[in-house]
Amino acid sequence: MPSPYFTKLTKIMLLTQTEENYLKAIFKHSEEAGKGVATTNAIAIEMNTAPASVTDMLRRLSEKKLINYEKYKGVSLTDSGRQVATELIRKHRLWECFLVDKLDFEWDEIHDIAEQLEHVNSPELIRRLNEYLGTPRFDPHGDPIPDEHGNIPEREFITLSNLEPGQTGELIGLQEHPDSLMKFLKKINVAIGTKITVLEYNEFDESLYIQINNEKKGGLSRKVSDNLLMKVI
Amino acid sequence: MPSPYFTKLTKIMLLTQTEENYLKAIFKHSEEAGKGVATTNAIAIEMNTAPASVTDMLRRLSEKKLINYEKYKGVSLTDSGRQVATELIRKHRLWECFLVDKLDFEWDEIHDIAEQLEHVNSPELIRRLNEYLGTPRFDPHGDPIPDEHGNIPEREFITLSNLEPGQTGELIGLQEHPDSLMKFLKKINVAIGTKITVLEYNEFDESLYIQINNEKKGGLSRKVSDNLLMKVI
DNA sequence: TAAGACTTTTAGATTAATCTAAAAATATTT
DNA sequence: AAATATTTTTAGATTAATCTAAAAGTCTTA
């Protein structure tokens, strides 16, 4: 309707998967990382490309007004860039819920599949998927799922490494979730929701002696306990 | 394991989405259409590209041994090309089942979404999705779903236009399913499984006077009745 | 603060997928 | 079987996304 009266042109810009992935990488290394801006190098490492390729893409994303970019000064997302990024994260995490809740995948098997599914473009699909899953707020790794407006639920947590001997907490998420960590946790029977009691703190290597769900006891390295996000109970 | 003893190198060739779409188009215009070979022009129309682009792609698919191609002679799928094509069709139709059965989409809303989902690459995902859906043999349009080996269930049918007055049939599929046809059928309350009785044949324009599910009566053009695949009951 | 180290950008190529225009091959019709 | 029409291929460009090598900018540290 070419009328002079319409006020808001919600331009639906079709992005390539690559562009989408760059926006996610920028989100991760600026806002999510707590820094204001992402650096070219960080993005290159995240995307597994040469820094020169990143510079090139930054120029293009900047032209499309998805990022704020000044040469040599790092990069941050504009409002519309942030909207795209959080929508992708929302889609990724909803699909992860689907894979675990409905198709019985395990939490260490879903990332690569969700990485593909997140690029499927259909707002109605996501609306219905979200409803079908019961509007989950967290994904199978405990990561918060942004809502339609890009608001991300806050989690209050303390890392297991910061619990005092005697305290018990419930696992609500992971700081990072590399495959190796998830496989290890599976082996010792720790998952989202598991209760862990700190029995002893070992000063020498900063490891913990813990009890899992009031049953098995065992040791846990500092590196692992740093990655476990707990709610004290 | 670089051993001289392994015999079968199941080369998993990663194809681009575009290449995959060409293979589907070739399948549609050769085997599925009952012809031996697909022509450059037919593929160009199907893919919405210039014939020159098709020629280019044919050269590349031929190099990858996915098609049999001789200049000016048309093109057919090799065994591995056919395997890729039927897997795509399988994925497409399983996703369509998911969209309708689980997310309550209607049959005229699912094609474009399934067109994207079919390119997600994860055999395990499809294995589980198929199981989750109860191993359906036909999709929401009544189209047969190829099995893992590319075997396509046969349907026996007669078009509604070939039923005699007095005969009743059940709708089991559509010859083609453009949006306009599906929307029309929705409006007159005809869907897969609907029973249709032919009451009269109108010689002048070859239209039919029919009764739907022993209730409403109405007329149907030849063009529509040619597209309705029925099982006589 | 100047030298060296590191980061980032520029320059120039490459590949996949596309286009238009023109040439070549095949098919159809008189 | 010529002439004409249609289909298909070739030739030469273009765009997105990537690369390597080299130049430019910024940071760190001696």
The residues facing A208 across adjacent strands are A201, A220
pLDDT in tens, B136-183: 999 999 999 999 999 999 989 999 999 999 999 999 999 999 999 999
CA distance B128 to chain A (A): 6
Instruction: Identify the pLDDT of residue B9.
Output: 38
CA distance A94 to chain B (A): 14
Measured between CA atoms, the residue of chain B closest to residue A112 is B122
Average pLDDT, chain B: 93
Low-confidence ranges of chain A (pLDDT < 70): 1-11
Q: How confident is the model at residue B16 (pLDDT cuts 50, 70, 90)?
A: very high
Q: What is the CA radius of gyration of chain A?
A: 21
Q: Do B120 and A120 touch (CB under 8 A)?
A: yes
**What CA–CA distance (Å, rounded) separates A117 from B159?**
38
Residues shown for chain B? 233
Chain B residues lying within 8 Å of A105, measured CB to CB: 124, 128
Tally of CB atoms within 10 A around A163: 21
Q: How confident is the model at residue B50 (pLDDT cuts 50, 70, 90)?
A: very high
Chain A residues lying within 8 Å of B99, measured CB to CB: 125
Sheet of B217-220, strand order: B158-159, B228-232, B168-174, B195-202, B207-212, B217-220
Sign of CA dihedral A32, A101, B91, A13: negative
Instruction: Identify the pLDDT of residue B11.
Output: 54
Instruction: Identify the pLDDT of residue B91.
Output: 98
Nucleotides of D under 7 A from a protein CB: 7-12, 16-22, 25-26
Q: If you average pLDDT over residues B197-215, what whole number do you get?
A: 95
Do B20 and B119 contact (CB within 8 A), yes or no?
A: yes
Instruction: Identify the pLDDT of residue B106.
Output: 96
Is the predicted pLDDT of residue B8 greater than 70, yes or no? no
- At B207, list the tokens: 């239209």
Instruction: Identify the pLDDT of residue A11.
Output: 54
Do A98 and A133 contact (CB within 8 A), yes or no?
A: yes
DSSP secondary structure string, chain B? ---TT-------PPPPHHHHHHHHHHHHHTTTTT-S-B-HHHHHHHHTS-HHHHHHHHHHHHHTTSEEE-TTS-EEE-HHHHHHHHHHHHHHHHHHHHHHHTT---TTSSHHHHHHHTT---HHHHHHHHHHTT--SB-TTSPBPP-TTS-------EEGGGSPTT-EEEEEEES---HHHHHHHHHTT--TT-EEEEEEEETTTTEEEEEETTS-EEEE-HHHHTTEEEEE-
| Nearest CB to A129 within list B103, B112, B122 | B103
- At B180, list the tokens: 């306009």
pLDDT in tens, B217-226: 999 999 999 9
Instruction: Identify the pLDDT of residue B186.
Output: 95
Instruction: Identify the pLDDT of residue A4.
Output: 32
**What CA–CA distance (Å, rounded) separates B193 from A63?**
52
Q: How confident is the model at residue B6 (pLDDT cuts 50, 70, 90)?
A: very low
Residues shown for chain A? 233
Q: Do B116 and A132 touch (CB under 8 A)?
A: no
Q: Do A125 and B103 touch (CB under 8 A)?
A: yes
Compare B150 and B11 and report the one with higher pLDDT: B150
**What CA–CA distance (Å, rounded) separates B152 from B159?**
20
Q: How far is CA A213 from the centre of its chain?
A: 26
For chains A and B, what is the number of CB pairs under 8 angstroms? 40
Instruction: Identify the pLDDT of residue B14.
Output: 87
Which backbone phi and psi does A46 adopt, to 5 degrees?
A: -55, -40
The ipTM value here is 0.91
- What lies within 8 Å, CB to CB, of A75 at 6+ separation is A26, A30, A37, A38, A39, A40, A43, A58, A67, A68, A69
Instruction: Identify the pLDDT of residue A31.
Output: 84
Residue type at position A105: F
Chain A residues lying within 8 Å of B125, measured CB to CB: 99, 103, 113
Nucleotide nearest B61, from its CA to each C1': C16
For residue A15, give the 3-state DSSP assignment.
coil
| Nearest CB to A132 within list B103, B119, B125 | B103
Q: Do B125 and A113 touch (CB under 8 A)?
A: yes
Which element (helix H / strand E) includes A192? none
Chain B residues lying within 8 Å of A121, measured CB to CB: 116
